[in-house]
Chain A
Amino acid sequence: MSTKRAMAYHYSVTCFIYFLLLIPLLATLVYSLCDQWGATILPSGFTFKWYIQLWTDPRFLTALYHSMTLAVGTLILSAVLIVPCVFVVFYYYPKLDTGLNILTLLPFAIPPVVSSVGLLQLYSDYPLLLTGTPWILVGCYVGIALPFIYRAVNNNLRALNVHDLMDAARLLGASSTQAFFKLILPNIRKGLMASLFLSFSFLIGEFVFANLLAGANFETLQVYLYNMQQNSSHFTSALVISYFSITLILTLLATRFNR
């Protein structure tokens, strides 16, 4: 009947689209696990050697360490800076919300390449010699994390009935600061964590700032990946899959926290 035909259509459309999206990933996975795959349609020779080569390369491990510390550091700083601001705007100055909302859209509106033009000129000289150091990346990455954290915290606060909670806490003798730390923060923790994981996967995927502003002086995972392109593509495939597995785990954790 017609509904059965319609369902068959919907299933095939969905499967086709997801198959398309999967092809590059699957091919890379197969590539990373085989010995040779040149000029033939099917690969040959199953091996783990590319992964072993990758995970024993000290340069890779340094890059991974750089990416991880950079992302974690940035996220801690972002949370400390952004969460109180979002709360204060929400609770004390709701009129400023539109302004904050526009600020969060800035990183989307200005391509990183464009920001880099100004950043390179502003911070390549004393007294603010920041290019080539991780510190300039930290500053830029706070901007990247801002929209995610802002949205998550704002949505959570909306769902929370903050005004009644704060009033109740104050009637029970808590100061506003105490109420924020003991009451509001634990209640938005879940959403905040989810947004941090999401930002994390974005941050370790960032290439433009990392390449243009820090480059070889502070090699991150993405820059390392780029610099390895002269290497065997089996090796780079193993690198892509390793990188992708890390983001996959983080996305899963993020969805877990979101429940």
Chain B
Amino acid sequence: MNNRLCRPFLVFIPFFIILGLFQLAPLVWVVINSFINNDGHWSLDNYQQVVSSPFYRQAFTHSFLVSIFSAVAGLLIATIGCASLRHMQGKIRNIMIAFTNMTSNFAGVPLAFAFIIVLGFNGAITLMLRKWGWINSFDLYGTQGLSVVYTYFQIPLAMLLLYPAFDALKVDWEEAASLLGASHRYYWQHIALPVLSPALLGTFIILLANGLGTYATAYTLTSGNYNLVTVRIANLVAGDLFLQPNLAAAISVILMSLLIFITCVNQWLVKRSYHVY
């Protein structure tokens, strides 16, 4: 018994060594060192510095602003898109899904470049919109621009995550509702959206985490000039000026704690929403 069940255990050893070295160890280091100040003593100095600094508070505000906006906008567009995509013919639908899959990989540095071409100061769309008088200027390198770029990469991700959930909506339900006198709108409000709500909430959290953790896109687009949490962390460990890894660790821990908190609220909402079949 012992021998038979112990031998398979050996395959875990190399796996856990790699995972421990590159996933867990850095995490443990971050958590421990966030509580160690410049003199090498246990303290909350790093946290105090983050909380009391308007500069770091601004980074958090910006990160959440852009992430929440892009998550909500991405989710909204993806929900409308998935609802319509379901009505496409099988072949067209498969091509669309493959395309979504592909664009979900289009993020980071190349995406930033593409947006500079399209929506930069002399971008084709910027010029077009300016000519039509819709906008005076578009600031791709500020909150406005980042929100648009973030939304762009959230849409395909949200569609990939949401689309399977739409399969749970049965055609019979809408037909039954319509025979009982419900309009299309009433059906969506009282049946479809409540049924989808766990998937919508779950997708929202993933999008939010995705937005908060994004670094490459913003870094390329603004050369690190836009104040975001990830940009601050990276600057503190790999910037040109003096490095403060322990301060970066404290910011990281705050960021992750906020994420965990939101996830817990979300789980609580999902549990309350309704009982799955």
Residues of A within 8 A of B (CB): 6-7, 9-11, 13-14, 17-18, 20-21, 23-25, 27-28, 31, 37-41, 81-82, 84-85, 88, 91-93, 103, 106-122, 136, 139-140, 142-143, 146, 176, 201-202, 205, 207-208, 211-212, 222, 225-226, 229, 233, 236-237, 239-240, 243-244, 247-248, 251-252, 255
State the CA gap A85–B13 with chains docked (Å). 9
Are B84 and A14 within 8 A (Cβ)?
A: yes
Are A240 and B110 within 8 A (Cβ)?
A: yes
Interface size class of B (residues with CB under 8 A): 35 or more
Which residues of B lie under 8 Å from residue A114 when comparing CB positions? 26-27, 30, 213, 233, 252, 255-256
Most buried by A among B11, B77, B83: B11
* Residue in B closest to A252 when the chains form the complex, CB atoms: B98
State the CA gap A136–B8 with chains docked (Å). 28
Are A24 and B118 within 8 A (Cβ)?
A: yes
Are A40 and B18 within 8 A (Cβ)?
A: no
State the CA gap A201–B209 with chains docked (Å). 21
Are B77 and A88 within 8 A (Cβ)?
A: no
Cross-chain pairs A/B with CB under 8 angstroms, 9 sampled: A85-B12, A108-B209, A118-B25, A118-B30, A121-B245, A142-B18, A205-B105, A212-B238, A229-B113
Are A39 and B127 within 8 A (Cβ)?
A: yes
Are B238 and A120 within 8 A (Cβ)?
A: yes
Are A117 and B248 within 8 A (Cβ)?
A: yes
The one of B26, B83, B216, B236 that contacts A208, using a Cβ cutoff of 8 Å: B216
Are B255 and A14 within 8 A (Cβ)?
A: no
Are A207 and B11 within 8 A (Cβ)?
A: no
A117-B125 contact in complex given A24-B114, A84-B11, A109-B256, C-beta closer than 8 Å: no
Are B252 and A92 within 8 A (Cβ)?
A: no
Q: DSSP majority for the A interface? A: helix
Does B266 interact with chain A (Cβ within 8 Å)?
no
State the CA gap A36–B101 with chains docked (Å). 32
The one of A10, A13, A85 that contacts B11, using a Cβ cutoff of 8 Å: A85
Does B133 interact with chain A (Cβ within 8 Å)?
no
State the CA gap A139–B125 with chains docked (Å). 42
Q: Which chain B residues (195-251) contact chain A, with CB distance < 8 Å? A: 206, 209, 212-216, 220, 230, 233-234, 236-238, 245, 248-249
Min CB gap A19→B, angstroms: 11
Which residues of A lie under 8 Å from residue B22 when comparing CB positions? 115, 119, 136, 139-140, 142-143
Which residues of B lie under 8 Å from residue A252 when comparing CB positions? 98
Q: Mark B17-34, 1 if CB is under 8 A from A, else 0.
A: 011011111111110010
State the CA gap A21–B115 with chains docked (Å). 11
The one of B11, B14, B117, B123 that contacts A237, using a Cβ cutoff of 8 Å: B117
Min CB gap A86→B, angstroms: 10
Are A207 and B216 within 8 A (Cβ)?
A: yes
Does B142 interact with chain A (Cβ within 8 Å)?
no
Which residues of A lie under 8 Å from residue B23 when comparing CB positions? 103, 106-107, 110, 115, 143
Which residues of B lie under 8 Å from residue A255 when comparing CB positions? 98, 101
The one of B111, B114, B122, B234 that contacts A116, using a Cβ cutoff of 8 Å: B234
State the CA gap A99–B156 with chains docked (Å). 29
State the CA gap A118–B253 with chains docked (Å). 12
A205-B213 contact in complex given A18-B99, A28-B113, A142-B19, C-beta closer than 8 Å: no
Does B193 interact with chain A (Cβ within 8 Å)?
no
State the CA gap A121–B155 with chains docked (Å). 36
Which residues of B lie under 8 Å from residue A103 when comparing CB positions? 19, 23
6 more CB-based (< 8 A) A-B contacts, given A6-B87, A93-B8, A121-B245: A25-B106, A113-B234, A136-B22, A143-B22, A207-B109, A208-B234
